[in-house]
Chains A and B, each alone.
Chain A
Amino acid sequence: MDDASIKKTGAANKKPIFAEDERINPVTGFFIEITLLTKFAFRFIRESFRAPHEFREFIRQCYLVGYRSFPLIAITGFIMGLVLTIQSRPTLARFGAESWLPAMVAVSIIREIGPVISALIFAGKVGSSIGAELASMKVTEQIDAMEVSGTNPFKYLVVTRIGAATLMLPVLAIVADAISLYGAYVGVNIKGDVNFTLFIIKSFESLEFSDVLPAVIKTFFFGFAIALLACYKGYNADKGTEGVAHSANSSVVLGSLAIFLLDMIAVQITDLLF
């Protein structure tokens, strides 16, 4: 090979870290996966700031992951608020603290249940959809087709999806919180008679800035993690239809797991700071 063919930095110059037929033990495999995922996340950050930006596709993805997820999140949010109220009432009534019901439900919903349940629903709907779509594009050579047409598929497919999910989940979680509170109001009125204004006053009386802000901030991380994992799994899929199924499945499983891990970290940090 002469000097002229010494490689520079092109996309073509990527070689696999391991030979394809090399057997890797599960522990090594886990750390390789973590390393590759980290590289994938850094590539996302790098490509996000590099022009040209795919605004049109980003807006389309915001519509798909945000607006299209709204009905499911809204229904779940309503049921969540309603059920939580109905389930909590007997216990509070036993201690004569029924008047605390709106406050208790509001704190539960805003601080924890709203963000986490919305994120889990989001992981099921959006995570699986991104994982399956990208994997299917990968195994049917659509990603290769994008690349040979001179488009950066990472920027077009991955950056837009992760960006949209990161931005849309907090919006959906806030909407879910509001609808959950309405569900709780309906729940309170099944066996009682509280007007809406009083219910809202009672609910917000117990809420502080330190309840709302961390809860909203963590949903950005939930959205980022769900889409990052789904894109990573889909973008690197192989083995035909089996690969598509695996990507969709692991996007949901890993996305859900990431939500709980991030939530645990968020709670610890909130506890330290507020």
Chain B
Amino acid sequence: MENVIAEIQHIKKSFGEHHVLKDMNFSLEKGENLVILGKSGSGKSVLIKCMVGLMQPDDGKIVILGENISQLDNNELNKLRKKIGFLFQSAALYDAMTVRENLEFPLRNLRSKSEEEIEELVLEALRNVGLEDAIDKMPSELSGGMRKRIGLARAIILKPEIILYDEPTTGLDPITSKEISHLILDIQKKYNTSGIIITHDVECARLTANRIIMLKDGRMAVEGTFNELAASNDEWVNSFFK
């Protein structure tokens, strides 16, 4: 248990009469990439938004890095959020800022870094995603894959302990998807981060997962490694892998 850095216990979330998450339980271990697979609309994104306090679960407990997030006040929550990177499905780059300013934004908010340190960290993050040349471009000048890479660079710039990836390969061609998946692996190895990867892309799951959880009807239906699930005889599990 000492390796567990995030725990989700009996999480429930409904929107009106629509019960999205009914009873979610799982844990994330240090250094592992956990893939959560499920159909669109199965509550995967809601789950990770609950993990960073963007949404509040109706019931249950979320403990991240030893902190019960429902017990934190705004300042404590913001401190915890600095240890969590988040890659949004749309990358969510700030349209009015250049790539450089997008990456500088979380660093300036720390108010403890010098201009030289900020410059160095921005360049390092861009090197990690292979996009040093895009530093002065506006988000509107970037392709979908480049936006995802910059989003990833912004997610890792504070050297977080956990990174949450919301559909990292959605909307990308197979080659770019594979590049993003390899980038996720590189970051895991380089910074020893733990990751939760929300996806319905089986190829991305195959490349990045140490462990996979499959969501069905708001609950965790199956858990295992990629090979274990791919060899399953369950018809529903098979429908994902074939």
Contact = CB atoms under 8 A, between A and B. Distances in A.
Interface of A: 1-2, 4-15, 19-22, 52, 133, 136-137, 140-142, 144-152
A1 B17 CA distance: 21
- Residue of A5, A7, A149 contacting most chain B CB atoms (<10 Å): A149
Question: How big is the B interface, by class?
Answer: 35 or more
B106 interface: yes
A150 B109 CA distance: 8
A145 B86 CA distance: 8
Contact of B74 (A9, A21, A52, A149): A9
Contact of A12 (B16, B53, B105): B53
A137 B97 CA distance: 12
Contacts of B68: 4-5
B16 A19 contact: yes
A11 B79 CA distance: 13
B105 A151 contact: yes
Interface in B35-71: 49, 52-56, 59-61, 68-71
Contacts of B89: 141
B96 A141 contact: no
B84 interface: yes
Contact of B71 (A5, A136, A142, A151): A5
A2 B61 contact: yes
B52 A8 contact: no
Contacts, number: 113
A137 B102 CA distance: 14
A149 B16 contact: no
A148 B165 CA distance: 13
A6 B71 contact: yes
A22 to B, nearest CB: 7
A148 B157 CA distance: 13
A10 B61 contact: no
A1 B12 CA distance: 11
Nearest to B164: A148
B111 interface: yes
A20 B79 CA distance: 31
Nearest to A64: B96
B106 A144 contact: no
Given A10-B69, A137-B94, 15 more contacts: A5-B60, A6-B71, A12-B54, A12-B56, A12-B77, A15-B56, A141-B89, A142-B93, A144-B54, A145-B94, A147-B52, A149-B81, A150-B106, A150-B109, A151-B109
Contacts of B17: 21
Contacts of B55: 12
Nearest to B9: A5
Contacts of B92: 140-142, 144-145
A41 to B, nearest CB: 19
B88 A141 contact: yes
A91 B214 CA distance: 81
A17 to B, nearest CB: 13
Given A145-B94, A150-B79, A11 B86 contact: no
A2 B62 CA distance: 12
Contacts of B84: 148
Nearest to A5: B61
| B60, B76, B88 — most chain A CB neighbours (10 Å) | B88
B173 interface: no
B73 interface: yes
A93 to B, nearest CB: 53
Given A150-B81, A151-B105, A152-B78, A13 B70 contact: yes
Contact of A147 (B10, B54, B73): B54
Given A1-B59, A151-B106, A12 B88 contact: no
A11 B53 contact: yes
Contact of B88 (A8, A21, A22, A144): A144
B236 interface: no
A145 B97 CA distance: 14
10 contacts: A8-B70, A12-B53, A140-B90, A140-B95, A148-B54, A148-B84, A149-B109, A150-B82, A151-B78, A151-B106
B72 interface: yes
A144 B51 CA distance: 13
Contacts of A147: 52-54, 81
A1 B60 contact: yes
Given A141-B88, A142-B92, A7 B70 contact: yes
A136 B95 contact: yes
